[in-house]
Amino acid sequence: MTDDNPYKSPATPPYDVTPGQVADRIKRKTPLEVDIFTLFFRFSGRIGRRQFLTGYLFTLSIISIAAFIDIILAAYIKLLLLYPLFALSTKRYHDLGKAGWAGLFQLLPGFGWLIVLAGCGLPIGDFHDNQYGESIYRK
């Protein structure tokens, strides 16, 4: 007898996961495998929430420390770190399947950085390959 049951439910595709299973499906990289130059200075590709939050909070902490020392120094450091902040947010928006231009919200005075932090740090990325690169999640 064969196993050709026409009423059997179809197999679940490998990319259907619940948010609780996301951590198990992420392609893990050790800290030594993360290329700092690519993370902070390239706009192509995709990064996950952990890499984004680590890099973004690191740069914001540098700006905050400089603000305690001197506000003028903090302004210059903020200008120097705009490029890495844009690179981080662009790659994270790429992982969400969106264009990286949304990273320009961080130029808004006041809480623009908070909009980018919430928009990039909270949602789960796209599990599929998209126009910005292959998925960073295991298939």
State the pTM of this model: 0.72
What single DSSP character describes residue 71? H
* H-helix segments, 20-70: 22-25, 36-41, 49-69
How do residues 55-114 score in pLDDT, each as one tens digit? Answer: 999 999 999 999 999 999 999 999 999 999 999 999 999 999 898 888 888 888 888 888
Is 26 among the domain residues? no
Please tell me the total count of domains within the chain.
1
Is 22 among the domain residues? no
Is 125 among the domain residues? yes
Domain containing 74: what range? 38-139
